Chain A
Amino acid sequence: MNTQHHPEHPLDSFLAVYSDSLKRLALNDSGFVFDPMSGQSFTVNPCGLELLKLMQKQADVTLIEQQILQEFAVSADVLERNFLEFSEQLRRYLK
């Protein structure tokens, strides 16, 4: 498995900054998300939940993407695009 870091990945900085906030989120399998810092709760769809779980485990974007590509029928391009947009949502909600 290629574990080499890609420094140019636009999500690197997101994960660097938000990894702590992501780790503190309480997740359950029906898609309920609770942020103990803000008291705010959310609903996340199944693929979003998958990404949140992976991001709580590691901060390497490439590894997360590889994991998804192995499990889901999605192209690398679409995944990156979707992942980016998802991170934009998280950035706003996890302030």
Chain B
Amino acid sequence: MTHTLKTWQKPSITPHQLGTLNKFGRPVGGDYVEKIDGVAVDDLLRDYGSPLFVLSEKRLRDNIRQLKRAFESRYQPVIHAWSYKTNYLNAVCATLHQEGSWAEVVSAFEYEKARALGVPASRILFNGPHKKRAILERCVKEGARIHIDNLDELYLLDAIARELDIFTSVTIRLNFETGYTEAWSRFGFNLESGAAFDAAIRIGNSSHLKLRGLHSHVGTFILDTRAYQVEVEKLCDFMELIEQQAHALIDSLDIGGGFASQNAVQGLYLPTEQVVPTMSQYADAICSTLITKTAQREAQGKPRLTLILESGRAVVDDAEVLISSVVGSKRLPDGRASYIMDAGVNLLFTAFWYNHKVKPTRSLQGIAEETVLYGPLCMNIDIVRQSISLPPLSVGDSLVISPVGAYNNTQWLQFIEYRPAIVMVHENGEVSVIRRAENLADINSFESLPDHLNGQFNFSE
């Protein structure tokens, strides 16, 4: 029998909502992502497997250039320091260092990673609450800029600088109320309580430490630019105070990170484009306040302050996607469609607070309906999307999840699954593996088995 067979699509029936047309009954088949920076998703999956993280070098460079332009057109000099914890893949860091970004690290590991990549210590800002003597000694010898978090660290650093007899410029981290953000009061010295002032005086009395920088990081995913205005005002007021009373001459104000990315925070119902300020709006708020607050200081002939930014997620988030494939489907008892994906919260830590965009990689036929996307873990919390409108999917269908560039490749878990490969699409369209997929030998290489536990397993017949 020879006749052409009709195309099959998974049968599905969707009830109409009472009164209105089904809110999910809108065909979305046209909305799909076939290529990433010109490279076919199918080719990527064939060559590198699923799931797969894909980074766009072009997008990353565009983002950092846009940030620099927004700020430098309003104020100079500006330094962007790349917040390693946001994404410390070497290829990401190297791209940003090529664009002129310094390194902002928060642990000995991150410091070593930046140094191993070839970043000079003088271009590293060392933040964070945990710095042991050995790494502090190394930083002092190599000349990194240490951001002091607490009094114990201050005394230890002072002792080290004296022992090594090295004059060391330092920054202190401050925390305070902005009125627009939750105070991150566990990091740095509190302004309102006077702890910050005491620390500045203490450094002023040190023979080897010089207080040159003030730093604060007022939060993350900050949607109200007024938070930054208050931050800059408070930093400037404090600077004036300590320059008068604590023999300090400040060379830089580091306002931390916190600019939001185009990602949908759970519980926030307005479209992201409506709530996330543009880079120009952030830059306006920050630079205009800074210029006003430092005009008098400049008139006195003091050196112009360097503005340091540590923006993380806004730079890298939308430069990376995760491609994941459907491995199974299930109708939930309440009628919703659900799918099991080969990537879950093990790879997508940010699924706990974002509703990521999820797009099919081909035009899907059928009526979109309310759908839950589960990951592969044997855990209830492993949900990629709690509720999303998708047409019926089949096993093997792939989905592009975005944006995923911030915090996923650093906070991911090696829990019951291997972590997959990460590739970068370069500006010329070439693709390279920037982190290969894990295998059993990798994981086992950390372990050793005591001799008497090797074999002789005693299974009953």
B122 at the interface (CB under 8 A from A): no
Report the bound CA distance from A44 to B7 in whole Å: 16
| In the complex with contacts A42-B16, A45-B365, A45-B367, A72-B5 CB distance below 8 A | yes
Contacting pair B10 A47 (CB below 8 A): yes
Evaluate contact between B8 and A74: CB separation under 8 angstroms.
yes
A75 → B minimal CB distance (Å): 9
Q: Which residues of B are found within 8 Å of A2, using beta-carbon distances?
A: none
CB neighbours of B365 from chain A (8 A): 45
Q: Which residues of A contact B194 (CB under 8 A)?
A: none
- Of chain A, the residue at the smallest CB distance from B1 is A70
Q: Does B9 contact A (CB under 8 A)?
A: yes
- CB atoms of A45 and B15 under 8 A apart: no
B92-117 CB contact bits vs A (8 Å, 1 = yes)? 00000000000000000000000000
Chain A residues within an 8 Å CB radius of B14:
42-44
Out of B5, B11, B16, which one reaches A48, CB within 8 Å? B11
Q: How many interface residues does A have (CB within 8 Å)? A: 30
Q: Are B5 and A40 in contact (CB under 8 A)?
A: no
B12 within 8 A of A: yes
User: A46 near B: Cβ within 8 Å?
Assistant: yes
A45-B367, A85-B331, A89-B331 are contacts. A73–B12 as well, Cβ < 8 Å? no
> Residue A59 at the B interface, CB < 8 A?
no
* B25 in contact with A43 (CB, 8 Å): yes
A44:B12 contact, CB within 8 angstroms: yes
Contact with B along A23-49 (1 / 0, CB 8 A): 000000000010000001111111110
Select B392's contact among A42, A45, A50, A93, beta carbons within 8 Å: A45
Judge whether A14 is part of the interface by a CB distance below 8 angstroms.
no
Complex Cα–Cα for A10 and B366 (A):
25
Measured CA separation A43–B126 after assembly (Å) = 59
Interface status of A71 (Cβ within 8 A of chain B): yes
Per the bound structure, the CA–CA distance linking A46 and B329 in Å amounts to 20
**CB closest residue in chain B, given A88:** B331
Q: Per-position contact with B for A60-87: 1 when CB-CB < 8 Å, else 0?
A: 0000000010111110001100110110
Of A72, A88, A89, the contact of B6 (CB 8 Å cutoff) = A72
Q: How far is the CB of B379 from chain A (nearest CB, A)?
A: 24
Q: Are B5 and A44 in contact (CB under 8 A)?
A: no
Given A43-B25, A71-B5, A72-B5, does the pair A89, B13 have CB atoms closer than 8 Å? yes
* In the complex, B335 has a CB within 8 A of chain A: yes
A90 contacts the other chain (CB 8 A): yes
> In the assembled complex, which residues on chain A have CB atoms less than 8 Å from the CB atom of B7?
72-73
B8/A83 in contact, CB under 8 A: no
Known contacts A43-B25, A45-B365, A85-B331: A93-B13 contact under CB 8 Å = yes
Say yes or no: A90 contacts B8, CB within 8 Å. Answer: no
By beta carbon, the residue of chain B nearest A38 is B15
**Nearest-Cβ distance from residue A73 to partner chain B, whole angstroms:** 4
Contact of A41 among B11, B16, B392, B394 (CB under 8 A): B16
CB–CB A51/B11 < 8 A: yes
Query: Are the CB atoms of A86 and B5 closer together than 8 Å?
Result: no
- CB-nearest residue of chain B to A41: B16
In the bound complex, CA of A52 to CA of B11 (Å): 10
Pairwise interchain contact A43-B16, C-beta atoms closer than 8 A? yes
A6 contacts the other chain (CB 8 A): no
Contacts of A83 in B (CB 8 A): 11
A83 to B329, CA, bound (A): 13
User: B11-31, CB under 8 A of A: which get 1 and which 0?
Assistant: 111111000001001000000
Asked if residues A43 and B5 are in contact (CB atoms below 8 Å), the reply is no
In the complex, are the beta carbons of A45 and B9 less than 8 A apart? Answer: yes
> Are B11 and A86 neighbours in the complex by a CB distance under 8 Å?
yes
Chain A residues with CB under 8 A of B9 = 45-47
A72 closest partner in B (C-beta) = B8
Please give me the residue from chain B that is nearest to A90 by CB atom: B13
Complex alpha-carbon distance, A72 and B7, angstroms: 6
Within 8 Å by CB of B13, from A42, A73, A82, lies A42
| Chain A residues within 8 Å of B11, by CB | 44-45, 47-48, 50-51, 82-83, 86
Complex interface: chain B residues within 8 A of A52 (CB)? 13
Residue of A nearest to B365 (CB): A45
The answer for the CA separation of A92 and B8 in the assembled complex, in Å, is: 24
Q: Which residues of A contact B (CB under 8 A)?
A: 33, 40-48, 50-52, 68, 70-74, 78-79, 82-83, 85-86, 88-90, 92-93
With contacts A43-B14, A43-B367, A48-B12 known, what are 10 further pairs, Cβ within 8 A? A33-B13, A41-B16, A43-B13, A43-B22, A44-B12, A44-B14, A45-B11, A47-B8, A73-B5, A93-B15
Pull 21 A–B residue pairs with CB atoms less than 8 Å apart, ordered by A. Answer: A41-B16, A43-B13, A43-B25, A43-B367, A44-B14, A45-B10, A45-B11, A45-B12, A45-B366, A47-B10, A71-B6, A73-B5, A74-B8, A78-B394, A83-B11, A85-B10, A86-B12, A86-B13, A88-B331, A89-B12, A90-B13
